[in-house]
Each structure stands twice: as structure tokens, then as C-alpha cells.
Amino acid sequence: MSVILAALDTSSAARAVLETAVRIGQLTGADVKAVHVHAGLLESDKTPVALAERSGVPVEVLEDPVESSLIAAMAAPGVIAAVIGARATPSGRRPVGLTARSILEQADKPVVVVAPEAVSPGAIRRLLVPLEGTEMSSQPVLERLMPLLVADVELVVLHVFTDATMPVMLDRPEYDMKILGDEFLTRNCSLASQVELRTGPIATRVAEVSEEHRADLIVLSWSQDTSSERARVVREVLGASVLPVLLLPAKPLDINETVVGSSSPEGTRQGPSRAKPRSTG
């Protein structure tokens, strides 16, 4: 049995976390299990437990400390991904709270981060995947994301050019950009249905394209190194997005150890078919 773990606390983000976990369960064909860490004598477990029970989701109350208990729960056999809240309140000072940040740095499985003000989608059908065009950012999409999916989805790839990577001259801008887009997909994510090529601040372009394409989920890979440039982009996207953000650790993945209960002969999940790639401006 494959499991999506929903980490519920007593904050306003708990409902959005649970609703998103249910959607991720539908996307991956996995069951959903909620956990709540009892963090103190004065804290009541009634709200997160009641929330899960009303949704028909089994829930387990774990003991403090929060971080180690959640990491241990995520490491359990069958857990293929976790869903956590980004921060306690919409007006929080940080894109992610200290607990969420610690979990993201330690987790060796995909984690979906949900803001308190997150827009809860219906069925998740369109994924926005910002890629740098490097092996570090592209490989996890194929190695970690695709084997998890059982629902039919559309992948929209976004690449934001920097001053250093922007093509110097385009003789026929519309035609040349289409060629660049097709080449980018072939090189980095051939299963995507389309690519958007943009310039400017990455987090801003992610927000724009996710709205234009009515994306349901943003997918980012990262090295789990908080001092890296990629971590800055992750922080900015997490701070600005009202959509759930799936973070894929950029590490090799043994699918047979992580994804269990698959019906395929090799023990891996088979992703849905994809449309022929095309580029858009």
C-alpha cells in the first residue's frame, strides 16, 4: 500500500494541508494518512484529529519533538510523499517556518508545501514545472515525479532566461523561439506537453504562468542546500504561491524501495501518456 502523509498541526494551514493531501492521493493512487504531533501540555489535539476524521482520513497522534517524529513517519515503508504546511499564518514573516524548513532539508522523499491561504484545487490535472535546463533540475522530474503519477496530467514546463543564457540574436523571433522551446523539451523533459520561455524574475514568472495556464500544482526540484541559488528560487516561489508546491529532492531515487504496491511487473508506477510537445511564447 502506498501512502501520502498529511502533517496536521493546530494552525490555519491544517485544512488546506489535508485537502491537498487528498488531491495528491488521487493523483498518485495512494491512500492518505494524517499525523499530528502533540507538541505540549497546553495544546489540544481535538482540532486536527476531528478534521481528519470528518474527512474519513485515518489519523495518528505522535509525540514531541515535532521534526524528528515527522521525519520518522515519512521514512515509514509505503510512504511515497508528505504534505506539510508552509507556515502557521498567511502573514508569517518567512516563506516557510522553521519546522517546515528543517523537514525539507532532511526529507529524502517528495514533499508538498501548502500555504495557509492556498487555493485548494479540484482534481490535479495540470502541473507547472519550472526548469533551469540543467541535469540537476531536470532529472528529478523524470526519476521522482513520473513514477508516482497514475492520473492523466498535463505538464507545462517553464524556463526563465537570465542575462547570461538569453539568446543574443533571433533572426525570426517566433520561429526561432519555437525551435528553442522544442529543443529545450527534448533535452530536459520530453514528456511535457508544452513549454513557456520567459525572461525576468523567476518567482514572478512562475506566478504569471501558473495563472495563465490555470495550473493546479507547481513542481520544483532542489538540492536541499539552503545556501544555493536554487534555494533562493524555492523560497521566493514558496513565499508567493497560492498553489501547492511539490519539492523533489535532487538525489538519486530507488523507486523499488520508495513506491510499493504498484501493479507494474518491475514494481514501479507507470505514468500516464503525454501529448506531443509544443512550444508557446
pLDDT tens string 52-99: 999 999 999 998 888 999 999 999 999 999 999 987 666 556 678 888
What is the reported pLDDT for 68? 93
What is the reported pLDDT for 225? 76
DSSP line for the chain: --EEEEE--SSTTHHHHHHHHHHHHHHHT-EEEEEEEE--TT--SHHHHHHHHHTT--EEEEESPHHHHHHHHHTSTTEEEEEEES-SSTT-SSSS-HHHHHHHHH-SS-EEEE-TT----SS--EEEEE--SSHHHHHHIIIIIGGG--S--EEEEEEEE-TTTS-S--SSHHHHHHHHHHHHHHHH-TT-SEEEEEES-HHHHHHHHHHHTT-SEEEEEE-S-TTSHHHHHHHHHHHH-SS-EEEEESS---HHHH--S--STTS-PPPPP-PPPEEE-
What is the reported pLDDT for 177? 58
What is the reported pLDDT for 156? 92
Q: Where do the domains of the chain lie?
A: 3-114, 126-280
What is the reported pLDDT for 78? 95
Stretches where the chain sits below pLDDT 70 are: 40-44, 88-94, 120-121, 133-137, 163-181, 228-230, 251-281
What is the reported pLDDT for 278? 38
What is the reported pLDDT for 31? 97
What is the reported pLDDT for 96? 80
What is the reported pLDDT for 88? 61
Q: Which CATH architecture has domain 126-280?
A: 3-Layer(aba) Sandwich (3.40)
What is the reported pLDDT for 136? 65
Fold of 3-114: Rossmann fold (3.40.50)
